[in-house]
Amino acid sequence: MTKINYVKIFDTTLRDGEQSPGATMTSAEKLEVAHNLARLGVDIIEAGFPAASPDDLEAVRRIALEVGNPASLENEAKVPVIAGLARANKSDIDKAWEAVQGAKKPRIHTFLATSPIHMKHKLKMDPEEVIQCVSEMVAYAKTLCNDVEFSPEDAGRSEPEFLYVVLGEAIKSGATTLNIPDTVGYTTPDEFYALIKGIIEKTPGMHAGITVSVHCHDDLGMATANTLAGIRAGARQAEVTINGIGERAGNTSLEEVVMALKTRHPVFGLDTGIETQQLSRLSKLVSNYTGIVVQPNKAIVGSNAFAHEAGIHQDGMLKHQTTYEIMRPEDVGVNQTNLVLGKHSGRHALRNRLAEMGHSLDDVELDKAFARFKELADRKKVITDLDLEAVIADEFYKPRDVYLLNGLQVSCGTMGMPTATVRLRGPDGVVHTQASIGTGPVDATYKAINAIVSIPCTLLEFNIHAITEGIDALGEVTVRIQGTNGHTTMDAQSEVEYARVYGGHGADTDIIVASAKAYINALNKLIIAQTEGTEKVPNDFGVMLG
């Protein structure tokens, strides 16, 4: 294998990760995540599935032009490969090439299922037809793009001898990367190790110029273990997502694989190009855009990953950090030091601290952040790094405002009915006011917002937690909503868009205000999707990889 001691990181957050229910991102959000993935140092960004919709094709095209072709990067080696996914047919491959061809390093990633169950029940193809299709479509992709990746979908449940034949044909037809997906998270580490080792040793035509890749899902909780097993067997590309998001139980987590290779370097002897200090910040960005909360006990980026409560652990930590921490928080971008910023702090101090945290803001963005910072400083004596992260997330990691919270007042308690009066500025600039009664202050607030916005939807999930400690802690709320058909004349495409799940995020020292912001954030995404057609076509791609 080329660069035998280097593992390429292939990030599919924008493709497989976005397939998580409710994780759909707008084109602008995908572009922002892609920019941050490039800064993180990923080698390949799978920007999307261009055949899914015109909007997804356009999003991949913009990423290819802006992220995959940056004029500011002097070192071309650091420019990421931009990949587009395509089923094994000419139409998909053409759309993938249309989307990625503007990148300095474009890649077409095509796939076809090879497991008996997929071939029989889904593809309705016999093994010989699959082999022929792979040979023809990889060869066709090669006529368009020199860098072609092929994946035998559901390889984890495929017959190894059949895989050798299929992969051999892919190599013969011009594939440069062979990705082996455990699409349904079925295998165990020992099995996956043997599968990868067998592929490297027994596939006809395998040579040093071919990169073997692994793509594992977490249905049985073994995605990271399987990926590391595949790497130990000789794979030199890992397909991963930020926070491990993805279909069903998710994909292999980027941060887990990267930090395992770094922390256990004496065991693996392998390196990546990832700037690990950015992991925590990027985890937060993806969580805010998708509305999928990172569980507190999530490895590497969870809020409890570097927290210690047990007396024995605290005693050990006070004596020496390495007693209970196998990596430093700073290595993944978690700063444990409270930053003493307050209402007397100026723009320069704020800009410097944000830069240290990995946020590069222009003058206009800094003015917005500074205004939010001052507003918060008037309510809190000390602003911590976590407060600043919440301010940045609330100010910048959100869709364009359609409806904007202009005022909120609630009354609640045991002696009366919870009531909320909400004032929203609409898209036409008109301010709307509505009062509603609910089972609690949040319910009343949401009912008032619904009465103004008039977008039928169902609240699927509501999460609230304190960002920092103390009575003046900043509260952070994430919600997930699903559009519901409240119109009998709605057409089929609109019904599909209404059925999608949207996430929202809000932060404020007042938890009711934070709740309102999060709900409006999610509603704005739904409204934008309806009015501007930014959603994909129905997720009916039964042969989609992973």
Predicted pLDDT at 288:
85
CATH of domain 404-532: 3.30.160.270
Number of helices (H), then strands (E), belonging to the chain: the values are 18, 14
Predicted pLDDT at 19:
84
Evaluate if residue 531 carries a pLDDT over 50: yes
Evaluate if residue 493 carries a pLDDT over 90: no
Mean pLDDT taken over the chain: 87
Secondary structure (H, E, C), 193-241: HHHHHHHHHHCCCCCCCCEEEEEEECCCCCHHHHHHHHHHCCCCEEEEE
Q: Which residues contact 486 (CB under 8 A, 6 or more apart)?
A: 456
User: Which is more confidently placed, 386 or 240?
Assistant: 240
Going from N- to C-terminal start, the domains of the chain cover 8-290, 311-396, 404-532
Predicted pLDDT at 537:
33
Confidence of residue 449 (pLDDT cuts 50, 70, 90): very high
Taken in order 184, 16, 103, 36, the sign of the CA dihedral is negative
Query: What are 67-122's pLDDT values in tens digits?
Result: 998 765 555 668 999 999 999 999 999 999 999 999 999 999 999 999 999 999 99
Predicted pLDDT at 505:
84
End-to-end distance of the chain based on CA atoms, in angstroms? Answer: 25
Q: How far apart are the C-alpha atoms of 255 and 247, rounded to whole Å?
A: 18
Q: Which residues contact 242 (CB under 8 A, 6 or more apart)?
A: 11, 13, 17, 33, 37, 253, 254, 255, 282, 283, 286
Evaluate if residue 167 carries a pLDDT over 80: yes
Predicted pLDDT at 315:
63
Evaluate if residue 311 carries a pLDDT over 80: no
Q: Return the structure tokens found at 363.
A: 């003058």
Beta-bridge partners for 436: 420
Name residue, tokens 């952070």.
476
Among residues 50, 39, 15, 38, which one has the least CA distance to residue 145?
50
pTM, two decimals, is 0.76
Query: What are 172-231's pLDDT values in tens digits?
Result: 999 999 999 999 999 999 999 999 999 999 999 999 999 999 999 999 999 999 999 999
Predicted pLDDT at 2:
47
Q: How far apart are the C-alpha atoms of 264 and 169, rounded to whole Å?
A: 36
Among residues 351, 344, 341, 394, which one has the least CA distance to residue 372?
394
- Mean pLDDT, residues 471-485 taken together: 81
Query: What are 459-471's pLDDT values in tens digits?
Result: 998 988 877 666 6
Predicted pLDDT at 407:
93
Among residues 396, 365, 410, 385, which one has the least CA distance to residue 515?
410
Assess if CATH 2.60.120.380 describes domain 8-290.
Answer: no
As a whole-number percent, the residues of the chain with pLDDT over 70 amount to: 86
Predicted pLDDT at 535:
40
Query: What are 393-443's pLDDT values in tens digits?
Result: 766 665 667 999 999 999 988 777 899 999 999 988 899 999 999 999 999
Burial class (CB in 10 A: 0-12, 13-18, 19+), 414: exposed
Predicted pLDDT at 3:
58
Predicted pLDDT at 545:
43
- Mean pLDDT, residues 164-170 taken together: 98
3-state DSSP assignment of residue 542: coil
- Mean pLDDT, residues 26-45 taken together: 93
Evaluate if residue 309 carries a pLDDT over 60: no
